[in-house]
Amino acid sequence: MNLKIAVLSGDGIGPEVILQAKKALYAIGVVYDHEFVFEDALIGAIAIEKTGNPLPEQTLNLCLNTHAVLFGAIGDPMYDNDPTAKIRPELGLLKLRKELGLFANIRPIKAYPKLMDSSPIKKEVLQGTDFIVYRELNGGMYFGDKTTNEEGTYASDLCEYNEEEITKITHLAFKAAQGRRKKVTLVDKANVLETSRLWRKVVTNIAKEYPDVTLNFLYVDNAAMQIISNPRQFDILLTDNLFGDILSDEASVISGSIGLMASASLGEKHSLFEPIHGCYTEAKDKNIANPIAAILSVALLLEHFGLTTESKKVIKAVERAIITQVVTVDLKVNSQFGTNEVGDFISNYIMNEGDLYFKKDFVQIGQSTIV
């Protein structure tokens, strides 16, 4: 396969984790004879700095003309602390999601046996957790009209949804459930919000087309509690843009680190793959950022293009890194391995899995020759 991939590393730790993701993809290309052609472009704070625009035209055009986008992170504390800033890095990502029609954001949540102690949640609660958040990505409060008055004493963000927007992601969620444990949980606030009542109506109707899938409903406040008190109950969690943003960060606590959480954003024509952790500016250039979320985003990319064996190989390499504890400090206090070392281990494993070196549990602290 030949894939042209736009690489938007962005801000903060974006460039360093994306470099590791590219290494993993390159390794897959070598082993399975695919050609991945990368083309870099600017987005976010770095794009504002260089061009005045968080999503330069050139970047958008590149993304419109590639098979997929590999995305790093966006944001800069400089803007976070300035509520008056008119141009913000995040606008680049929001515009890109809209322009590419990326209406579904898919975030898998899993408890890794080896990492249960990294999570503040009890092992008994975590064990066997495996669900996917289907977050609507093109509508809701993120994209409704925004207003403020001249004095700066009033602000409003409109939350809007139409039937079509809900329908598109709902079908994807039900199809995914059919290939899994056949359960969709719609998370909303239908006791208060009109948009949530519309979601319930539309989703209930669509559910009739999938008689093998069970649909249930949960209010978002209750869901926030259930995600950490009884996460095993979820299979596909379907929700709107804002709730999905919040709940998926919360759910990352299950896996032990947000540095493990990958995502795929899908539209009818385009797709974007991105770690969910954000820019984490404090860690920039310190070789401590966890590259696994970016690398698992590559696994989602491969899966999306039907390269299932290749995707599984990436996941296996990541699991191997976790099992042998070649992980960054977020997963193991005092770990001697950094962003580059974890990335090297994973791409080396992809290329040389058959090596004796990987056959033994050889990669222990102090014994490693390759990392």
The residues that bridge with 217 in the sheet, in sequence order, are 186
Q: Which of 28, 93, 177, 302 binds ligand IPM (CB under 6 A)?
A: 93
Cβ neighbours of residue 265 closer than 8 Å, sequence gap 6 or more: 97, 102, 104, 105, 106, 137, 271, 272, 273, 274
Q: Which is nearer to ligand IPM, 12 or 343 (CB)?
A: 12
Nearer to Mn ion, 12 or 29 (CB): 12
Out of 249, 284, 332, 357, the active site residue is 249
Q: Looking at 11, 16, 76, 90, which residue binds ligand IPM (CB under 6 A)?
A: 90
Answer yes or no: 312 catalytic. Answer: no
Q: Which of 82, 117, 157, 221 is catalytic?
A: 221
How big is the site for ligand IPM, counted in residues (CB under 6 A)? 8
Which of 4, 98, 183, 189 does the annotation list as catalytic? 189
Residues in 158-217 at the binding interface with ligand IPM, rule: CB under 6 A: none
Name 129's Cβ contacts closer than 8 Å, sequence gap at least 6.
109, 110, 111, 231, 232, 234, 254
Question: In whole angstroms, what is the distance from residue 369 CA to residue 350 CA?
Answer: 17
Q: Which stretch binds ligand IPM (CB under 6 A): 9-17, 88-96, 232-240, 356-364?
A: 88-96
**Min CB(93)–ligand IPM separation in Å:** 5
Residue 93 interacting entry, from Mn ion, ligand IPM, none, C-beta within 5 to 8 Å by type: ligand IPM
For residues 312 and 317, give the distance between their C-alpha atoms in angstroms, rounded to a whole number.
9
The tally of CA atoms less than 13 A away on the side-chain side of residue 223 is 24
Q: Is 270 helix (H, G, I), strand (E, B) or coil?
A: coil
Contact 202, 170 (CB under 8 A): yes
Please say which residue, 42 or 363, places its beta carbon nearer to ligand IPM: 42
Which among 35, 37, 74, 24 is positioned nearest to 340, based on CA atoms? 24
Amino acid making up residue 368: S
In angstroms, what is the minimal distance from the CB of 276 to ligand IPM? 5
For the question of residue 114 being annotated catalytic, the response is: no
Strand 2-10's sheet: what is its strand order? 35-40, 2-10, 68-73, 271-275, 262-266, 104-110, 130-136, 236-239, 183-188, 214-219
Q: Measured at CB, which residue is nearest to Mn ion?
A: 245
Nearest residue to ligand IPM, scored by beta-carbon proximity: 90
Binding of residue 276 to ligand IPM (CB under 6 A): yes
What residues line the site for Mn ion (CB under 5 A)? 245
Q: Which is nearer to Mn ion, 245 or 274 (CB)?
A: 245
Binding partner of 62, given ligand IPM, Mn ion, none, CB within 5-8 angstroms per partner class: none
CA 218 vs. chain centroid, Å, equals 23
Whose tokens are 């976010």? That residue is 44
Taking the least distance from each CB to ligand IPM, the nearer of 74 and 220 is 74
Number of Cβ atoms within 10 Å of the Cβ of 337:
25
- Binding to ligand IPM in span 209-248, by CB under 6 A: 245
93 Cβ neighbours under 8 A, 6+ residues apart: 43, 44, 54, 55, 71, 74
User: Is 142 a known active-site residue?
Assistant: yes
245 flagged as catalytic:
yes
Least distance (Å) from Mn ion to the CB of residue 141? 13
Tell which one of 3, 13, 55, 74 touches ligand IPM (CB under 6 A).
Answer: 74
Cβ closest to Mn ion, residue 275 vs residue 343: 275
Nearer to ligand IPM, 240 or 245 (CB): 245
Annotated catalytic residue 76: no
Told to check if 266 binds ligand IPM by CB under 6 A, we report no
Burial of residue 120, with CB atoms counted within 10 A of its CB: 0-12 exposed, 13-18 middle, 19 or more buried: exposed
**Window of 13-21, 87-95, 232-240, 346-354 that interacts with ligand IPM by CB under 6 A:** 87-95
Distance CA 345, CA 363 (A): 10
- Which residue has tokens 């920039």? 284
Rule CB under 6 A: which residues touch ligand IPM?
74-75, 90, 93-94, 245, 276, 278
Provide the annotated active-site residues. Answer: 142, 189, 221, 245, 249
